[in-house]
Structure 1
């Protein structure tokens, strides 16, 4: 088992964590990634080395996601076949909880294991609110009902290590991207309840509320904006065509052909950029198959709602809202999903010399 700890400008709590793990589970390999903390923090990392931890590093700060991926590369190369547990360096995770996640991931062959906080007691407002928003968005996007989507305590079986290196994101958005892409890559997500610990109001966190929130929510926001744009085109075209023809079915079909063409082009180039790895003909065929299924569902729901006496415009809004989640999931998992990555098909670049073991 490997304990991977990304660290940026850590204090003595990192030493305390390494000491506690060494005492409670001396067989655990501790791997620390210094994410460009600078020479002023050398004594902390030297102290961790002195306790038997392996320290690798970035010469400049690159973000938590980049640090985790550097750790996954190093662990996969030096300890192949080992499961990995990731924990923060600032004392937010109790050692007993870390070991509980480690015990669970040992038996989870294809499952990501999250240490889920219950958010009881005194929790900073930004943390409580941020987790609530992210939890809702993840559920809409993936249908995963999770208690804690922002936890830094996570366990990954050895089977996931190669895949973990292929997921986009270099900063805090990386861990959300793992949740968004896990089920599409064939991995389950489980939770283990852990204590909720916020030291000094979470003052040690390097999370930037505005910039990092934009990064975290960007994938879902891009899809939402694309969907809203397509909805505007589709609704306007529907109203015009109904007025011109007086018939619902041809109006629905004509409006959907126009709006789905716009939506396909925007989603392929802007929303699911990695989907451009797939040939455009293949993606287009899958997209239009999905569009046909959604069109049938769209027409059926509109017909039922209007026959029940609901106006065309509110019926259209309800119909699109009901089908939005399905459309997002299918496009992300199948239509615009890149080819399944493996260590052979998509080799990950080796880290620079600044990432060698015990480098400062």
Structure 2
């Protein structure tokens, strides 16, 4: 399978070159797409220089900061147009270890979506204070209860999708960003009957640059998940999961969205 590792950036000049180098070393056959939202710190220029030296590195210049979800959706569309079989989400800040990409990709042998999970046995979080851990774990727990999903790390941004499965999620209908983007993509995957695997990862607090996390992102996720739950999507997700279990593992039965 040809994999495209999608890395959205906004002011990641300090880290992008090192992360790309680690990705290329970890999965030499994969391609890398840097989706830069017109970073004022020159990240886009660094990305162009990397692409000029390596035919497996590509750059998608976007007109301005439009949010994490929009960047990933644009990167997915770019990858689908060029025939990549697997589309990977990964942060540029070093919190996701490129060295764990082979394990994530291997999980797609029996899944349509592989999630690098922190909150399952074998998962490790380094450098986070207790408050950040509680926010992340509570967010995933709330999503599980409200939406009827079973995965333990609903907000993880380290994921790999089979490209053939993405159209079933209807990503063109996704308008979330930040935490809520990851949650929405997950429950759409459940509704569509996708096979989902969680792979334990070691997650570290960002090594360089400034965190993009804010109270607004957390509130957006809470509001959206609550609205989806009240709209009955949790029940629909549970029913879709049950239908998928009855269907063939090779060809899960899609649910109407």
TM-score (norm 2): 0.79
- Residue in structure 2 matched with residue 45 of structure 1 by the alignment: 47
Q: CA RMSD for the aligned pairs? A: 2.6
- Separation in structure 2 between the aligned mates of residue 14 and residue 203 of structure 1, nearest angstrom: 10
Say if 2:91 and 2:157, in contact at 8 Å, map to a contact too. Answer: yes
When residues 217 and 64 of structure 1 are mapped into structure 2, their CA distance, relative to the original with a 3 A threshold, is same
Residue 116 of structure 1 is matched in structure 2 by 117
Asked if the contact 1:72/1:165 (under 8 Å) is kept, the reply is no
2:86 is the counterpart of 1:83? yes
Which of 100, 103, 106 is residue 106 of structure 2 equivalent to? 103
Match of 2:157 among 152, 156, 161: 152
Q: How does 1:283-302 map to 2 (within 5 A)?
A: none
Given candidates 62, 77, 82, the residue that maps to 1:58 is 62
Q: Secondary structure at the match of 2:42?
A: helix
Partners of 1:181 and 1:333 within 8 A in 2: no
Report the equivalent of 1:219. Answer: 224
Does the C-alpha gap of structure 1 residues 24 and 182 become closer, same or farther in structure 2, counting only changes over 3 Å? closer
Unmatched 5+ residue regions in structure 1?
A: 227-266, 268-326, 342-360
Alpha carbons of 1:132 and 1:21: their partners in 2 closer, same or farther (altered >3 Å)?
A: closer
Pick one of 209, 213, 224 that aligns with 1:207.
213
Which consecutive aligned stretches of 4+ in structure 1 deviate over 4 angstroms post-superposition? 331-334
Cα 1:214/1:170, change in 2 over 3 Å:
same
Q: State the TM-score, normalized to the length of structure 1.
A: 0.58
Instruction: Compare the two structures and name the one with the higher strand fraction.
Output: 2
- 1:39 Cα offset (Å): 6.6
5+ unaligned residues in a row in structure 2: which ranges?
Answer: 240-254
Equivalent position to 1:176, from 162, 171, 183 = 183
Show the counterpart of 1:20.
22
In structure 2, the residue matched to 1:35 is: 37
RCO higher in 1 or 2 (8 Å CA, sep ≥ 6)?
A: 2
1:154, CA displacement in angstroms? 0.3
